[in-house]
Amino acid sequence: MSRVLLLRSLYILTVLFSISYSLFAQQPAGRGQEVSDEDGIPVLVKHLPNWESVKDQAFLTSDVQQLRSAVGPQPVLDQIEFIPGTEAVTAPYNAGRLVIIEYPSPQWSTDTDKKVLEFQNETGGSFIYRRIGNYNAFVFEPTDAEAATALLQQVKYEKSIQWLGKDPFAQSRAERHFVITTSDIFLSTVLVIVLGIGLSIVGGLGAGLMYFLMRERRRAGMSEFSDAGGMTRLNLDALTPDLARNLLNE
């Protein structure tokens, strides 16, 4: 009986070992903290641009020393610190070697971003860099700056946070939404009022100009000037021609 139990135990251990080995063999140089339920590939690897074509060359690690060994001598990596929960993946592309470092919190990603930007400003490192969500992405040894920038633009941070209980930031987001909405309404109202006043002024000036031009054209057609504006007046100064006499003469 004990022999049968021993054989069954060995069989179960063999099956478990084979399953573990097959799953581990699918991982590109690392297991990864977040793994896809469909194929067991780390999620961070799937966030590589065209990941299916570079997954066999991708290297996933949670150790900064291993990342330095995989990437090569890059002085900017000396400014980077890995805290527990940090992962990095790297893969070669035509535009250069892409490195994506994911931090478990935005605070660490922000701190790393400041260090990298300060290092880049001081030394002018030969790499293209961009912070994308909690990702700090690099393109080392870029063959073309525009192509490297386009490669970084393909990296998307697609993770979202779901709270198990009440969202502690719901009120702050609601207040922010209220402030933004109120400011937009206020600006829209001011713009409409200013635009209405401006159109009224322009319309008034245009109408006045047209009336002035019409009066000038009418006045230019008069043979002589009349201070009565074309109305009947007494010809005491004998300056206005006698229209009735002129008509009789004709």
Q: What is the pLDDT of residue 8?
A: 62
Q: Give the confidence band of 44 by pLDDT, cuts at 50, 70, 90.
A: confident
Which of 157, 175, 203 represents a domain boundary (last residue)? 157
Q: What is the pLDDT of residue 189?
A: 92
* pLDDT tens by residue, 68-97: 888 888 888 888 888 888 899 999 999 889
Residues 32 and 112 in one domain: yes
Question: What is the SS3 assignment for 17-86?
Answer: HHHHHHHHHHCCCCCCCCECCCCCCEHHHHCCCCHHHHCCCCEEECCHHHHHHHHCCCHHHHHCCCCCCC
Q: Taking 60 as the threshold, does the pLDDT of residue 40 lie above it?
A: yes
Percentage of the chain modeled with pLDDT above 90 = 18
* pLDDT tens by residue, 88-133: 999 999 988 999 999 888 888 889 999 999 988 888 778 889 998 8
206 is in which domain, residue-wise?
A: 166-222
Residues 106 and 185 in one domain: no
Q: What is the pLDDT of residue 134?
A: 84
Which tokens hold the place of 7?
């054989």
Does 206 map to a domain? yes
* pLDDT tens by residue, 193-248: 999 999 999 999 999 999 988 888 887 776 655 555 556 666 666 655 655 555 44
Instruction: Name the region of 74 (left: φ>0; alpha: ψ -120 to 50; beta: rest).
Output: beta
Residues 52 and 90 in one domain: yes
Q: What is the pLDDT of residue 21?
A: 41
Percentage of the chain modeled with pLDDT above 70 = 69
Residues 34 and 153 in one domain: yes
Which of 104, 129, 157 represents a domain boundary (last residue)? 157
Does 141 map to a domain? yes
The whole-model pTM stands at 0.52
Q: Give the confidence band of 19 by pLDDT, cuts at 50, 70, 90.
A: very low
Comparison of pLDDT for 26 and 5, the residue scoring more:
5
| Total number of residues shown for the chain | 250
Q: What is the pLDDT of residue 195?
A: 93
Q: Taking 50 as the threshold, does the pLDDT of residue 22 lie above it?
A: no
Mean pLDDT of 183-200: 91
What distance in Å separates the CA atoms of residue 136 and residue 87, rounded to the nearest whole number? 11
Residues 84 and 189 in one domain: no
The total number of structural domains in the chain stands at 2
Q: Which of these, 149, 124, 122, lies nearest to 138 by C-alpha position?
A: 149
Q: What is the pLDDT of residue 227?
A: 57
Which tokens hold the place of 66?
């291993």
Q: What is the pLDDT of residue 222?
A: 65
